[in-house]
Structure 1
Amino acid sequence: MSLSGTIYNSIFKRTSTFALACVGATFFFERTFDLGSEYLFDKLNEGKLWKHIKHNYEQ
């Protein structure tokens, strides 16, 4: 059996399994996208954010 046949039989054949796969994939994509965009924002604004300059103002 080919890879596409295996994927079809295990995920796409039943609607409930397909819906569960969509929900799971959405969860992991959202989490990965959130972490990636937050990392990029922190790198682009390094030295400008409060967490980077807080030590200058604490006594």
Structure 2
Amino acid sequence: MEDRTSRVDPKLLELLVCPLTKGRLSYNAADNELISEKAKLAYPIRDGIPIMLISEARKIED
């Protein structure tokens, strides 16, 4: 049985954008994050809820 608390609704993912760039996000299931390639930020998902705050995002290093 899947753990629904860590999954993101695909319809929600289509609606969400990066608050900084307004660009599309991709879902990283391994780290349970939403990734903004343009901003180089990873937004955490906690208890199935994306935390779309720039201050909570992790910077992605090249």
Structure whose residues are more often helix by fraction: 1
Structure whose residues are more often strand by fraction: 2
Give the TM-score, by structure 1 length.
0.24
Structure of greater relative contact order (alpha carbons < 8 Å, 6+ residues apart): 2
Give the TM-score, by structure 2 length.
0.23
Bigger Rg, structure 1 or 2: 1
